[in-house]
């Protein structure tokens, strides 16, 4: 009995360890989103460079998480909910890594946009959109730790707001380009940044769906509401 309890205790510590790493990785990604948006709005090239460099730490954590989760699968042979917990680590960390990549991409484009003549209001709009995704990520990580299906479902629904913000920005950028052709290059970079943030929202939503699966054993069976694509994107796949 003592030996069995020791094994269970060790397994619990393993599960707690990988979930703590998920939260650490999530914290780095939240910080990356905030800093990338702030670097653009404040035209801070040093902060943008910091975001690009910080992506290595996010990538390293994903690799470490995958190795640890694989080790647990091999040594502990978890069943039922414990197995879902370990498998969720692979999926959640992969989504976090992709969000970090999009944040890095925004920081890269910021270095170009910062050199150009600013277009009034565009950086602040992107900052608000990024903040929305950042808060969604914070909430979904809380839902993951607390095993809160309702909170995860709420995050999933809030992605529609991000889609609406993206569509509005897309139309605004078209107006800027038509009004002054000199804005085209900068505005195209801003559009790709907005698209990066929209895709971040999709990955946060994927994490929310993993939380629902983790708790219930089933993926949501209803299609997630998505706003109509912009004219530019209609007929194309992401």
Task: List, for residues 105-137, the tens digit of each pLDDT value.
Answer: 999 999 889 888 888 778 889 999 999 999 999
The whole-angstrom separation of Cα 92 and Cα 124 is 29
Residue 173 or residue 238, greater confidence? 173
Catalogue all structural domains in the chain, each as residue range(s) with its CATH number.
2-216 (1.20.58.220)
| 224 — pLDDT class (breaks 50, 70, 90) | low
pTM reported for the whole predicted model: 0.88
Q: Which residues contact 41 (CB under 8 A, 6 or more apart)?
A: 123, 124, 126, 127
* Per-residue model confidence as pLDDT tens digits over 90-111: 999 999 999 999 999 999 999 8
Q: Residues 140, 208: contact at Cβ < 8 Å?
A: yes
Q: Structure tokens of 32?
A: 């990356």
Furthest-apart CA atoms within the chain: distance in Å: 77
Confidence of residue 25 (pLDDT cuts 50, 70, 90): very high
How far apart, in Å, are the Cα atoms of 108 and each of 24, 47, 102, 193, 238?
Answer: 24, 11, 10, 10, 21
b/e map 157-167, b = 16+ CB within 10 Å: ebbeebbebbb
**Mean pLDDT across 56-78:** 92
Using only the alpha carbons of the chain, give its radius of gyration. Answer: 20
CA 218 – CA 181 distance, rounded (Å): 50
Q: State the pLDDT at residue 182.
A: 87
Torsion of CA 30, 105, 190, 159, to 10 degrees: -40
Contact between residue 59 and residue 100 where contact means Cβ atoms under 8 Å apart: yes
């Amino acid at each position: 009995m003592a030996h069995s309890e020791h094994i269970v205790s060790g397994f619990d510590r393993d599960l707690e360890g990988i979930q703590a790493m998920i939260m650490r990785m999530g914290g780095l990604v939240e910080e990356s989103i905030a800093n990338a948006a702030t670097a653009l709005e404040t035209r801070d090239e040093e902060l943008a460079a910091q975001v690009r460099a910080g992506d290595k730490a996010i990538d390293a954590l994903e690799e470490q998480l995958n190795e640890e989760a694989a080790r647990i699968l091999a040594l502990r042979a978890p069943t039922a909910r414990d197995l879902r917990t370990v498998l969720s680590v692979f999926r959640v960390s992969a989504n976090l890594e992709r969000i970090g990549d999009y944040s890095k991409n925004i920081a890269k484009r910021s270095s170009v946009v910062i050199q150009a003549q600013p277009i009034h209001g565009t950086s602040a709009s992107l900052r608000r959109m990024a903040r929305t995704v950042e808060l969604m990520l914070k909430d979904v990580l809380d839902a993951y730790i607390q095993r809160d299906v309702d909170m995860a479902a709420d995050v999933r629904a809030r992605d529609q707001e991000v889609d609406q913000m993206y569509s509005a920005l897309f139309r605004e950028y078209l107006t800027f380009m038509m009004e002054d052709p000199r804005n085209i290059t900068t505005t195209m970079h801003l559009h790709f940044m907005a698209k990066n943030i929209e895709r971040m929202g999709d990955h946060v939503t994927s994490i929310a769906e993993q939380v629902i699966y983790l708790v219930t054993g089933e993926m949501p069976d209803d299609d997630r509401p998505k706003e109509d694509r912009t004219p530019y994107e209609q007929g194309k796949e992401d």
